[in-house]
Structure formats: C-alpha cells, structure tokens
C-alpha cells in the first residue's frame, strides 16, 4: 500500500495516490511554514558558509544537579538518539520542536556514538548520568549507555519526575537504516524500547553521504519531518494515533528537494558486513583507540555466547581512553597464555539487492521520497495489518484543518 504526500513545492508525481485536495492542503501548510521560517533572521537560503555557525549551541558541561523546570500546562516529549548527545541531528531536532512551543522537551541520550549498538541494555555494570545543556531542552542528560538504556532509564521514574511522556522521538541519525539494518540500529532501538514500554515513538534517520552531505542538512531534515511530528503529537493527544506500531522516518540525502512522504514497507535490504584483520584495535585512519561504547554491542553479543562456558572476563573502563581486550579463559577460569589475541574491524558496505517493489523503504529513499515505515516489536502480528493502519493514519495526519 502506498501513501504519498508532497512535502516540497508542487511536482508532477505519478506515484501520488492521495486525493489532490489533501496534497494541496499539505503543500499550502508547508509553504506557509516555509514563509514563516524565511521571515526569521536565520531562515531562508542565506545560510552562512561555515557549518559550525549554523549549529545551535550544545554545551554538555557537567553540573551537579539539573532540576526539572517543566511548565505543567505542557505535555512531555522525550528525545534520544544513537549518535551521541552532541550530535547535530539531535540538536537540530530539539530546535525544530522548540518552534512548536507547546511541549516540555527532555533529552536523555548517549554521551558517545552508539549508532550500531542495536537493542542492547547494560547489565552488571553501572552507568553514569551527567547533566547536559542543550538550547531549548527543559532538561538534558548524557548517559554512558546505549539508546535503549537511555529510554528505559528515562521511563523508569528514577531519573525524571515523570514516567510516561506523550511521545519518544529518537534521532536524527547520521546515515540511513533501511531493511535489516534496523536490527542493528541504535536510533531505531531507542524508539522500539519506548514502544515496548507502551509509549508512542518515532525514529528518524538522514541518508547521509560522505563528501555530499553537510551538517546543515540535519536542520533541513528536522524541518521536513516537523509537520508529521506535529500531526503525531496532536493525534496522540486525541487518542487516535496507532498503538500497535512505531514509525521510522528515512529522510533523503537532499531533504529540501524530496518528492514527498511515502508510506513504505520494511525491506530485506542489509549492509554487507565486511570483516578485516587489523594490526591493533586502533582506528586505521586516525590512530585513535575505539571507545568502549562503540564496541559494546558486539562484545555483549559475543559474551552471551561465551557465558555457557566458564564465563568470559570482560574489563571495560568507560572512562579510559584505551580499551582492555576481552580475554579468553579456560574452563577453570584461568587465563590461557597460549592463546593469541587478534584484532578485526567491521566495515559496512552497500550493495543493490535487486528488490523491485517501489514501496520498499530503501527503494523509496533512492527515489527521493521521505520514507515512513511502520514497525512492530511483535512477531505474531501480520505486517499488512500495521501497513493498513499506518496508511490510514498517515493520510489523515497530513490533512490540514480548514
């Protein structure tokens, strides 16, 4: 099922299956929004050449306490991501939501890049939480854990004074997460953790391309997604938002020249996992050691396989610059000096999987659409049920009240 609605100036689009009146209304809303933005001092196309000058302030300097300062008349929105609390995707997302002026925005995000952490949770270790300062956020924390950790902690009542926000938004991720890559994705896992906990959620990724994308594209991606986020928030308050699925939004590489929103199905696409032997655990290009959190997901998976033996000894120091190698141990728990430690590095390679269905997520993204894919944590519910429910909601959500 295809639901396509233009989020850019009018274009001829043969795949557009929504009523012309609905499309026209959405175009009018987006054009009015663009006109309002262009009236602002930092709006329009006259962006400074320096990327850093267009990035809102983010100062994750630590303070002892950061008490909640909620406006009790506003609903709570929780924001997390997979790229880290200082990432431009998160900062521009907060700034876009601030423009709505109707919600208390709380941030709980990893202190470092956790893009490929999957849905891993930190067990048998203590995580640290420090206050961060992000312009527009009511409260912000950086966590030495995964996106799933951040959402689980935020919803537990142990960190914030509330336990159930109106919506959890995870993003904006640097890089696409189509098909099976969603299984590995930390940003999708943040939204999935919220859904498992009974909280509506949306995750967002930008199809970042090296040597082509710029940091200001995150600002444009946030602006493109804002009408759909605003519609979701409004419908959650009305009680008509789908309760059985989360939504993942894929924004094309050039956000402002997209061909519209398109409801898509999760494909079987996946990156090719290319493992290569390296001389050490240092990054080959920078010579820097990998951070603990960058390898946490992979190590957790390996440790779970080793747990049935005498146990694997893991020594991760989250505050150290160098990581400690996971040692192999014998059945008696003693180090085996005869074993040699080797190092491998994983690279993700893209390839064309040849799926021809234009309604698949990665195909829509390749064709310049903003792909909106419904996801469910349940393996026992037919995906077509979610597609039908999501299609109806997307069509209704993008309508503009007369």
Phi-psi category of residue 88: left, alpha or beta, with phi > 0 → left and psi -120 to 50 → alpha? alpha
What does the buried/exposed string (b/e) look like for 259-280 if buried means 16 or more CB atoms within 10 Å of the residue's CB? bbbbbbbbbebbbeeeeeeeee
> Are residue 228 and residue 205 in the same domain, yes or no?
yes
> Are residue 231 and residue 131 in the same domain, yes or no?
yes
Do the bridges between strand 103-110 and strand 129-131 make them parallel or antiparallel, or are there none, so unpaired? unpaired
> Are residue 58 and residue 9 in the same domain, yes or no?
yes
Q: Is 77 within 8 Å of 106 (Cβ atoms)? A: yes
Q: Is 68 within 8 Å of 83 (Cβ atoms)? A: no
For residue 117, the enclosing domain spans 4-267+355-397
Is the omega angle on the peptide bond into residue 249 within 30 degrees of 0, that is, cis?
no
pLDDT, position 44: 38
402 lies in some domain: no
The tokens describing 185, both together, are 């994705």
Residues 108-158 have pLDDT tens digits of: 999 988 887 888 899 989 999 999 999 999 999 999 999 999 999 999 999
> Are residue 381 and residue 342 in the same domain, yes or no?
no
> Are residue 226 and residue 174 in the same domain, yes or no?
yes
How far, in Å, CA of 159 to CA of 141, rounded? 9
Whether residue 317 has pLDDT greater than 60: no
Q: Is 80 within 8 Å of 122 (Cβ atoms)? A: no
Higher pLDDT, 312 or 302: 302
> Are residue 180 and residue 194 in the same domain, yes or no?
yes
Whether residue 172 has pLDDT greater than 90: yes
Residues 219-274 have pLDDT tens digits of: 999 999 999 999 999 999 999 898 878 999 999 999 999 999 998 888 777 777 78
- Mean pLDDT along residues 172-181: 87
Give the chain's mean pLDDT. 74
Residues 188-218 have pLDDT tens digits of: 999 999 999 999 999 999 999 988 999 999 9
Distances (CA, A) of 269 to 189, 356, 380: 18, 12, 22
CATH code assigned at 8? 3.40.1210.10
Whether residue 292 has pLDDT greater than 70: no
How far, in Å, CA of 326 to CA of 313, rounded? 6
> Are residue 115 and residue 156 in the same domain, yes or no?
yes
How far, in Å, CA of 238 to CA of 128, rounded? 37
Least confident window among 87-101, 103-117, 298-312, 358-372: 298-312
Cα-Cα end-to-end distance for the chain:
27
pLDDT, position 299: 53
Work out the pLDDT band at 351, boundaries 50, 70, 90: low
55 lies in some domain: yes
> Are residue 116 and residue 235 in the same domain, yes or no?
yes
Residues 44-91 have pLDDT tens digits of: 333 333 333 344 444 444 334 454 556 778 999 999 999 999 999 999
222 lies in some domain: yes
> Are residue 113 and residue 240 in the same domain, yes or no?
yes
Residue 357, classified by CB atoms within 10 Å of its CB into exposed (0-12), middle (13-18) or buried (19+), is exposed
> Are residue 41 and residue 79 in the same domain, yes or no?
yes
């Amino acid at each position: 099922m295809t639901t396509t609605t233009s989020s850019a100036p009018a274009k001829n689009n043969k795949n557009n299956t929504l009523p012309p009146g609905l499309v026209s209304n959405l175009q009018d809303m987006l054009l009015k929004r663009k006109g309002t933005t262009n009236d602002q001092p930092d709006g329009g196309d006259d962006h400074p050449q320096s990327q850093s000058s267009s990035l809102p302030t983010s100062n994750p300097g630590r303070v002892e306490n950061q008490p909640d300062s909620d406006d009790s008349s506003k609903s709570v929105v929780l924001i997390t991501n997979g790229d880290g609390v200082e990432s431009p995707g998160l900062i521009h997302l907060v700034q876009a939501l601030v423009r709505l002026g109707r919600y208390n925005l709380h941030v709980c995000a990893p202190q470092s890049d956790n893009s490929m952490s999957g849905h891993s949770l930190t067990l048998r270790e203590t995580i640290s939480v420090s206050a961060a300062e992000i312009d527009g956020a009511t409260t912000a924390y950086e966590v030495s854990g995964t996106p799933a950790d951040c959402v689980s902690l935020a919803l537990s009542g142990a960190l914030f004074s509330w336990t159930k926000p109106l919506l959890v938004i995870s993003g904006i991720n640097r890089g696409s997460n189509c098909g099976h890559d969603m299984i590995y994705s930390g940003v999708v896992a943040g939204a999935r953790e919220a859904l498992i906990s009974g909280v509506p959620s949306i995750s967002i990724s930008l199809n970042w391309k090296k040597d082509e994308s710029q940091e200001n594209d995150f600002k444009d991606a946030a602006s493109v997604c804002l009408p759909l986020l605003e519609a979701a928030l409004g419908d959650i308050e009305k009680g008509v938002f789908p309760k059985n699925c989360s939504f993942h939004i894929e924004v094309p590489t050039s956000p402002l020249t997209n061909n519209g929103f398109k409801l898509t199905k999760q494909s079987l696409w996946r990156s090719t996992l290319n493992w290569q032997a390296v001389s050490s655990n240092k990054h080959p290009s920078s010579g820097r050691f990998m951070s603990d959190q960058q390898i946490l997901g992979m190590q957790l998976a390996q440790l779970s396989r080793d747990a049935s033996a005498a146990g694997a000894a893991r020594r991760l120091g989250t505050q150290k610059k160098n990581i400690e190698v996971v040692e192999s141990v014998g059945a008696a728990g003693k180090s085996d000096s005869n074993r040699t430690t080797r190092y491998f590095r994983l690279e993700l390679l893209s390839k064309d999987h040849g799926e021809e269905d234009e309604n698949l997520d990665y195909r829509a993204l390749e064709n310049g659409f903003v792909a909106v894919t419904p996801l469910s944590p349940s393996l026992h519910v037919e995906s077509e049920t979610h597609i039908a429910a999501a299609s109806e909601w997307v069509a209704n959500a993008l309508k503009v009240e007369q």
